[in-house]
Chains A and B, each alone.
Chain A
Amino acid sequence: MRSSRLLRALRLGVGSLLLHKLRSTLTTLGVLFGVASVIAMLAVAEGASEQAQEQIRQLGSTNVILRSVKPPEDLVSNQETRVLAYGLTREDLERIRGTYPGLRAVVPVLDTPQEVRYLEHVCSPHVQCVPPEYLEVTGRVLHAGRFLAAADERAYAQVCVLSYEIARYLFPFEPALGKRVKIGADYFEVVGVTIGRVPIGQIHIDPGQEVAGDVFLPLATGRKIFGERQVRVRSGTMDITEVELHEIIVGVRETVDVPFIAAACRAMLASEHPRKDYEVVVPLELLIRERETKRIFSIVLGSIAGISLLVGGIGIMNVMLATVTERTREIGVRRALGAKRRHIVSQFLIETIVLSGAGGLAGVALGLAVPWWIEYKSGMRTIVTPQAPLLAFAISVGTGVIFGLYPAWRAASMDPVEALRHE
């Protein structure tokens, strides 16, 4: 009996709203776009933040990364060819190793800008000369074969490890392991393939298009063959730099020690490198900053969401006030026929709830479709958390109730005689 009463009330509410289809639709649209934009914005923000955090995590949240940075150009003359020496030194590496014995690993990285070639496939990946500990410290994962070993270092072995993208590019139709690729002027045997930075399923490689990826060589081998001079030919000019180490990755054992080690490294480098030819990247700090950014972003988004729903709510209130005025006589008749105040209140509240609920539901549908579409079209990552649609829907119905209360109360408190006299 009760449920059939509610059903009937709902049906009557819908019926009254359908008397003014355009008006009801427009009001619903206000709520719809509010709800949809809230869900979509949250999904995009969540996706972007998740992506950023993932990238930071890939740097290793217990690492402190020291990087060589080219000092400001004002010291450099305008020669055709120039040799610019800067950056981190092996001395820095030894000093860090000597000062903080409790570290998990201190891993030097030397870049060498070489072309990598197999038959007719040529590319210019990020060629890095690294010791075996590199894999563990950066948390990279092997896809096939093995990583560089200590024995390779000792033997100056001419071996290399490719990242998945490069392996796919150089060897589209055959396994890379055991093949010999040409790096610069020398041949290196592929002993392993690591998983790329991008999830494997999302890589599409067009033949002939430049690919980004990594090639790893043993540090000793790389230093012996290519030295510490990096020659890049750029639009006719030769760009020669001399950098002993491009990166030093300091792996800290405990997360709590990261800020301390980072501060110590900064202090040490500041005194040794007055030219400021280095930077210190602390993924943990970035992660914390990213979370803070996300929090602020959420607050801003929340306010925008609140405003858009407020606008929707005002729309509902406006329409309901008009409806109440328009139906003054009906209210009088119902009161004369025995309707209590609460019957009138619930009649109009049900109408606002139907309005805002319909807008909310449609908004949820649109709000789920938009992130999907964005992801499909632009490849941007979006994440719809399960709370987002629920929250948006609940808030939309809540606004409906809050903004519907006043018109409903106005309707219920009308004097029946006056209402009946209303034209």
Chain B
Amino acid sequence: MTLLGSSTPQQKLGAQPVAELRDVTRVYTMGETEVRALDGISHAFQHGEYWSIMGSSGSGKSTLLNILGCIDRPTAGDYFVRGRGVADLDDDELSELRGRELGFVFQSYNLIPQLDVLENIMVPVLYLDDVPPEAEDRARSLAERVGLIDRLDHRPAQLSGGQQQRVAIARALINDPALILADEATGNLDTRTAEEILELFDELHEEGKTILLVTHEEEVGRRAEKTLRLRDGRVAEVGENR
């Protein structure tokens, strides 16, 4: 059942990776000391793939995800989203790209406290240059999809962690992004609630979404189709699960 699918035939063919890293390096400079958080990473994420990015603490997972999410830029190397080089984009174009092509799911949900559920789901729509007229209907159907249709006028503070994370997932989907980026999305949840969220990801994957899930929990990481393992800012292992 493809409720949210809208993939074009070319993408299905996989002619072009959704996200491609070419020799990406990210160096943090703090005074004298330099930290190479990412050191020459090359990798392509294809359309419809479900990846987990794993590695020990400090291995560079979050740094990589920030670059993949276009909120950070590589110190060296190139990053392409659907074939577009990110290095050439200015701040506004980068923002536009984030809004249209990328969906973020954070560890601590990061809903906006003064907005209700429906408004939170709609936030990425507000920043588009032309707001699609059917956006609100879409937000409602997404809320239904994540099981919160009867909570539309609730504030984040009135929701449980699992419910908040589901709102965040709906928000990530509102602009039908090419790539969903989740950093420790289940990190703050108990096992049962985490399981619900992971099932939601499974469903999205079946619907053809491209998902990158950062985690340090082996169990969670195995839920994904494939796993990219980092060590000291380098790709240590690329593997298929099951």
Chain B residues with CB below 8 A from A333, complex form? 106, 110, 112
- A180 CA / B100 CA spacing, docked (Å): 99
- CB < 8 Å: which of A16, A329, A338 contacts B100? A338
**How far, in Å, is A347 (CB) from chain B's closest CB?**
10
- Please state if A337 and B96 are interface contacts (CB–CB under 8 Å): no
- Please state if A340 and B91 are interface contacts (CB–CB under 8 Å): yes
- A335 CA / B100 CA spacing, docked (Å): 12
- Please state if A19 and B114 are interface contacts (CB–CB under 8 Å): yes
- CB < 8 Å: which of B96, B110, B112 contacts A338? B96
Chain B residue at minimum C-beta to C-beta distance from A329: B110
Chain B residue at minimum C-beta to C-beta distance from A340: B95
Q: Is B113's beta carbon under 8 Å from chain A?
A: yes
Contact with B along A8-22 (1 / 0, CB 8 A): 100010011001000
- Please state if A337 and B91 are interface contacts (CB–CB under 8 Å): no
- Please state if A339 and B114 are interface contacts (CB–CB under 8 Å): no
Q: Is A334's beta carbon under 8 Å from chain B?
A: yes
Contact with A along B155-183 (1 / 0, CB 8 A): 00000000000000001000100000000
Chain A residue at minimum C-beta to C-beta distance from B110: A333
- Please state if B124 and A337 are interface contacts (CB–CB under 8 Å): yes
- A333 CA / B124 CA spacing, docked (Å): 10
Q: Is A71's beta carbon under 8 Å from chain B?
A: no
Stretch at the interface among B14-22, B64-72, B189-197, B201-209: B64-72
Chain B residue at minimum C-beta to C-beta distance from A339: B127
- CB < 8 Å: which of A15, A336, A341 contacts B91? A341
**How far, in Å, is B90 (CB) from chain A's closest CB?**
10
Q: Is B104's beta carbon under 8 Å from chain A?
A: yes
- Please state if A338 and B71 are interface contacts (CB–CB under 8 Å): no
**How far, in Å, is B58 (CB) from chain A's closest CB?**
15
- A338 CA / B71 CA spacing, docked (Å): 10
- A343 CA / B99 CA spacing, docked (Å): 13
Q: Is A390's beta carbon under 8 Å from chain B?
A: no
- CB < 8 Å: which of A5, A16, A338, A342 contacts B99? A338
Q: A330-B112, A333-B110 are in contact. Are A340 and B171 (CB under 8 A)?
A: no
Q: Is A151's beta carbon under 8 Å from chain B?
A: no
- Please state if B131 and A337 are interface contacts (CB–CB under 8 Å): no
- A8 CA / B96 CA spacing, docked (Å): 20
Interface set, chain B 102-145, CB cutoff 8 A to A: 104, 106, 110, 112-115, 123-124, 126-128, 131
Q: Is B234's beta carbon under 8 Å from chain A?
A: no
**How far, in Å, is A91 (CB) from chain B's closest CB?**
88
Q: Is B82's beta carbon under 8 Å from chain A?
A: no
Chain A residue at minimum C-beta to C-beta distance from B116: A15
Q: A1-B131, A334-B123, A420-B71 are in contact. Are A339 and B112 (CB under 8 A)?
A: no
Q: Is B98's beta carbon under 8 Å from chain A?
A: yes
- A337 CA / B131 CA spacing, docked (Å): 14
Interface set, chain A 1-59, CB cutoff 8 A to B: 1, 5, 8, 12, 15-16, 19
- A338 CA / B104 CA spacing, docked (Å): 10
- A81 CA / B112 CA spacing, docked (Å): 93
- A233 CA / B83 CA spacing, docked (Å): 110
| B contact residues vs A (CB 8 Å cutoff) | 66, 69, 71-72, 91-92, 95-96, 98-100, 104, 106, 110, 112-115, 123-124, 126-128, 131, 171, 175
| A contact residues vs B (CB 8 Å cutoff) | 1, 5, 8, 12, 15-16, 19, 329-330, 333-343, 416-417, 420
Leading 9 A-B pairs by shortest Cβ distance: A338-B99, A416-B71, A338-B127, A340-B95, A337-B124, A333-B110, A339-B127, A338-B98, A340-B92
